[in-house]
Amino acid sequence: MTMTPLPPLREVIARHGLAAQKSLGQNFLLDLNLTGRIARSAGSLDDHDVLEVGPGPGGLTRALLEEGARRVVAIERDRRCIAALEEISAAYPGRLEIVEGDALATDMKTLVRAPARIVANLPYNIATPLLVGWLQTEPWPPWYDSLTLMFQREVAERIVAQPGGKTYGRLAVLAQWRAEPRILFDIDRRAFTPPPAVTSSLVELVPRATPLAEADPRLLERVVAAAFGQRRKMLRASLKSLGCDPLPLLDAAGIEPTKRAEELSVEAFCALARAFAASR
């Protein structure tokens, strides 16, 4: 599919006065070779709706359409970017829907048709809450079949971290419980305008057909938050924040009270969540 001729992104940014705003977590990608690589990393987009959050001037949006997405739904909070996105919409009639609003307050599943994928250079200030929201989608399996997302490198490392390390925490447990995450590649900070302070990474998360182990999502979240909220403490102390005696919970889950949160596998946290549910 040949891209309909569009003006260079730098020209679009200058014409619409789209200086990236730090308050919105904006860092624009202008290299169309790079945005093309990101779009291709999401796999074949033929016959897929693609949800994009924070498109900015539309560099990745162009690439998603160029790579054959059936339809792209772009959620953009910054009103200044809408006119630039409308130029892309005019070049690809009927294939780009622009939604002006806050992604955190948007019911995204109602905007797309199956099969759907989420591909985005996420605004850094809302990247983690967006991911957690997508991972807590009900029912499971979710309405999307993959997530291909840009994060700061340190966040990407936390998503794929294994038990025993300092980066292993709440995000790793929630992500790996319901999905299979992997870091695809890093992107140098100089690729962005303006350059962020750190390297970024593209992460793929493929939903598991069934979670690693049985657990109530809300209770698992509470248990994980309590355990890692005081990660230096032993579980017999950190889990007191759940409002109950943690020793029977740990015993029911077969976990030593002297363990610390970072030592537990995802399955062990699920066992704790089941024990917590049974105690209520």
Can you spell out the DSSP letters for the chain? Answer: -PPPP---HHHHHHHHT----GGGT--EE--HHHHHHHHHHT---TT-EEEEE--TTSHHHHHHHHTT-SEEEEEE--GGGHHHHHHHHHHSTTTEEEEES-GGG--GGGT--SSEEEEEE--TTTHHHHHHHHHT-SSSS-S-S-EEEEEEHHHHHHHH--TTSTT-SHHHHHHHHHEEEEEEEEE-GGGEESPPSS-EEEEEEEE-SS-SS---HHHHHHHHHHHHHTTTSBHHHHGGGGSS-HHHHHHHHT--TT-BGGG--HHHHHHHHHHHHHH-
Structure confidence by residue, pLDDT tens digits, 60-77: 999 999 999 999 999 999
Predicted confidence (pLDDT) at residue 145 exceeds the cutoff of 50: yes
Tell me the percentage of the chain whose pLDDT exceeds 70: 96
Confidence of residue 2 (pLDDT cuts 50, 70, 90): very low
Joined tokens for residue 118: 């989420």
The model's confidence at residue 136, banded by pLDDT at 50, 70 and 90, is: very high
Judging by beta carbons within 10 Å of its beta carbon (0-12, 13-18, 19+), is residue 268 exposed, middle or buried? buried
pLDDT band at residue 195 under the 50/70/90 scheme: confident
Residue type, 9: L
Of the candidates 38, 200, 30, 189, the one whose C-alpha atom is nearest the C-alpha of residue 118 is 38
pTM here is 0.93
The per-residue pLDDT for 25 is 62
* pLDDT tens digits for range 23-65: 666 678 888 899 999 999 999 999 999 999 999 999 999 999 9
Q: Report the pLDDT value the prediction gives residue 190, as an integer from 0 to 100.
A: 86
- Assess whether pLDDT exceeds 90 at residue 224: yes
Peptide bond into 141 cis (omega under 30): yes
What pLDDT score does 264 carry?
A: 98
pLDDT at residue 1, rounded to an integer: 46
The pLDDT tens digits for 234-254 are: 999 999 999 999 999 999 999
